[in-house]
Chain A
Amino acid sequence: MNAVVRYLRDVFSGAWSLAMGMSVTLRYMFKPVSTVQYPREAMPLPEVYRGHIELRRFAETGSHGCVACGECFRICPSGVIKVQGLKEEADRPNRAVFYFIDFSRCSLCGLCVEVCPESALAFSKVYEEVGVSRYSTVVDLIARLESQGA
């Protein structure tokens, strides 16, 4: 007898717990949808979003401000930066002519941006990057900046 009562009690309390759970699910059915339909919609990116690095354009010169000091190249943990400078005028600092990064190995740590004495680097907001070979992630940031127009 006792076993039967216990069994029935278990059945009822179990069914009750399931009904209560279902009520939560039902309540959420009438709440606004929180899914973002990604390729058609995009999430807003935070102000400080860290995409791959890029050279900033300075309004005064209309160009980048990298002096090829090599600080970023020295601090980069993954060794993805290669920068080459050229002395154009004797009494002016060097100017970078190549600035290559291999984005596929960049860990997006941001140390290069922090260390740059000229604040020449910034994070881009690009996150949809595709390529057909591993070399398509190697970009010359100076060429990239120039191709973006003034």
Chain B
Amino acid sequence: MLRKTLTEDSFYLNLGPQHPSTHGVLHLLLKLDGERILECKPLVGYSHRAHEHMGQNRTYLQFLPNTSRMDYLGGLCYNHAYCLAVEKACGIEVPERARYIRTVCAELNRISSHLLWFGAYLMDLGAFTPFLYAFDDREDILAILGEVTGSRLTYSYCRFGGVNRDLNQNFLDGTKAFIPKLRKRLKDYRTLVTKNIIFLNRTKGIGTVSAELARDWALTGPNLRACGVAYDLRRAEPYSIYPELEFEIPTATAGDCYDRYWVRMAEMEQSLRIVEQALGRLPEGPVKAAGVPQWIQPPAGDYHFSYESPRGHLGIYFVSDGGRVPLRMKWRTPSFSNLSILSEILPGTLVADTIAILGSIDVVIPEIDR
């Protein structure tokens, strides 16, 4: 692991690619002076599976299952984003009910993603109990989503022009029971974690990012909102039914690890609100638009669509030549930009803080590598 270098006092440390707190195969090359970090270089690409290339040699519908494999924690959001992108390109009208269903499922998915992050992050910081509670809650969401999608992580639930199955009673009952349960749990988390002195000492003032720095490094999602920039694509470039819903964009001011934590916790509450509202006015009707061809052929041109994934700005860009297979498929995934800021904020911190900062940024490695 250690590589002695020419200068006397500094040496290199490879953190990862098989380190339990790098959340997957992330490789951080750290130049250290004792415990202090002089330089950090994130090395990515270990789980590259050529998803973009796969998108270029199969039809639009056949690429759909790939989308939930890029970010395995926000699979439904990625499904949703991809369908919205293709629908926008082809001008497909989505029935009202399907739009509500998709939003409900995507928000539940966002909560489950944040819950997993919450558990794993505290585990990195040395707290084991919250991890178990978070996974208990997350298990509920996976069971609810499994009732309607038939799968727990790689959903492939959305279709062009709707969703492939209507909600069933189990889903509705499960969600209704889950919302108050999670609200109660979030209160417990506040007592257990948010006010915990050890947690506060390990996160307050650590890994501070100013709003300018965040903009320079194209940070998005909760990481950007923790710096005080209220930028959320659900409000900035609204899609689906978000304009009709009431929710706030939680922001913090300091931009440190604690604020990133706080923003995500507050976001879960807002997502619960969204789910509650959307289920409350779930309209009747079909869940899939009629007459969507199986081999979809968007008119020639290039298309772009932005989506607020649990981790930030997800951009989908594809070029069509009017055929069944896209000419070019490009995904701008949020974790990639979010990760790159590490080389800017890590120098000067301690190794133990590296773990706290890396965890607070919430990266999903397969999504970076695609």
> Chain B, 129-159, contact with A by CB distance < 8 Å: what is the 0/1 string?
1000100100100010011111100101000
Whether B150 and A123, one on each chain, are in contact in the complex, defined by CB atoms closer than 8 angstroms, is yes
Whether B61 and A21, one on each chain, are in contact in the complex, defined by CB atoms closer than 8 angstroms, is no
List B contacts of A107 (CB < 8 A): 65-66, 69, 154, 156
* Residue in B66, B154, B165 whose beta carbon sits within 8 Å of that of A48 in the complex: B165
B192, CB-defined interface residue at 8 Å: yes
Stretch binding the partner chain, chosen from B31-39, B193-201, B213-221: B193-201
Of A23, A47, A48, A115, chain B has the most CB atoms within 10 Å of the CB of A48
Whether A108 and B151, one on each chain, are in contact in the complex, defined by CB atoms closer than 8 angstroms, is yes
List B contacts of A110 (CB < 8 A): 150, 156, 164
Whether B146 and A115, one on each chain, are in contact in the complex, defined by CB atoms closer than 8 angstroms, is no
B170, CB-defined interface residue at 8 Å: yes
By secondary structure, the B interface counts as helix
A114, CB-defined interface residue at 8 Å: yes
Whether A34 and B136, one on each chain, are in contact in the complex, defined by CB atoms closer than 8 angstroms, is yes
The docked-state distance in angstroms from the alpha carbon of A123 to that of B149 is 12
B62, CB-defined interface residue at 8 Å: yes
- The smallest C-beta distance from A63 to any residue of chain B, in angstroms, reads 26
List A contacts of B139 (CB < 8 A): 34
Nearest B residue (CB) for A20: B191
Whether A17 and B197, one on each chain, are in contact in the complex, defined by CB atoms closer than 8 angstroms, is yes
The docked-state distance in angstroms from the alpha carbon of A47 to that of B191 is 38
Q: What number of A residues sit within 8 Å (CB to CB) of B? A: 29
- The smallest C-beta distance from A150 to any residue of chain B, in angstroms, reads 27
A126, CB-defined interface residue at 8 Å: no
List B contacts of A24 (CB < 8 A): 188, 191-192
Nearest A residue (CB) for B147: A46
Whether B61 and A75, one on each chain, are in contact in the complex, defined by CB atoms closer than 8 angstroms, is yes
Whether B168 and A47, one on each chain, are in contact in the complex, defined by CB atoms closer than 8 angstroms, is yes
List CB contacts (< 8 Å) of B218-258 with chain A.
Answer: none
The docked-state distance in angstroms from the alpha carbon of A20 to that of B190 is 10
A86, CB-defined interface residue at 8 Å: no
B63, CB-defined interface residue at 8 Å: yes
The docked-state distance in angstroms from the alpha carbon of A67 to that of B156 is 26
B294, CB-defined interface residue at 8 Å: yes
- The smallest C-beta distance from B233 to any residue of chain A, in angstroms, reads 27
- The smallest C-beta distance from A29 to any residue of chain B, in angstroms, reads 10
Whether A114 and B192, one on each chain, are in contact in the complex, defined by CB atoms closer than 8 angstroms, is no
List A contacts of B65 (CB < 8 A): 77, 107-109, 111
A62, CB-defined interface residue at 8 Å: no
Whether B196 and A114, one on each chain, are in contact in the complex, defined by CB atoms closer than 8 angstroms, is no
- The smallest C-beta distance from B179 to any residue of chain A, in angstroms, reads 18
Whether B149 and A77, one on each chain, are in contact in the complex, defined by CB atoms closer than 8 angstroms, is no
A14, CB-defined interface residue at 8 Å: yes
* Residue in A23, A50, A115 whose beta carbon sits within 8 Å of that of B151 in the complex: A50
Whether B195 and A75, one on each chain, are in contact in the complex, defined by CB atoms closer than 8 angstroms, is no
- The smallest C-beta distance from B71 to any residue of chain A, in angstroms, reads 16
List CB contacts (< 8 Å) of A74-128 with chain B.
Answer: 75-77, 107-111, 114-115, 123
The docked-state distance in angstroms from the alpha carbon of A95 to that of B62 is 26
Using CB atoms and an 8 Å cutoff, list the residues of chain B in contact with chain A: 58, 61-66, 69, 129, 133, 136, 139, 143, 146-151, 154, 156, 164-165, 168, 170, 188, 191-193, 195-198, 200, 294
Using CB atoms and an 8 Å cutoff, list the residues of chain A in contact with chain B: 10, 13-15, 17-18, 20-21, 23-25, 28, 34, 46-50, 75-77, 107-111, 114-115, 123
List 3 tightest A-B contacts by C-beta distance, closest first: A14-B197, A109-B65, A77-B62
The contact sample of 17 A-B pairs, CB cut-off 8 A, is: A18-B196, A20-B195, A21-B191, A24-B192, A25-B129, A46-B146, A46-B147, A47-B168, A48-B150, A49-B146, A50-B150, A77-B65, A108-B65, A109-B65, A110-B156, A115-B294, A123-B150
With contacts A21-B193, A24-B191 known, what are 8 further pairs, Cβ within 8 A?
A17-B195, A20-B192, A46-B146, A47-B170, A48-B150, A49-B151, A110-B164, A111-B65
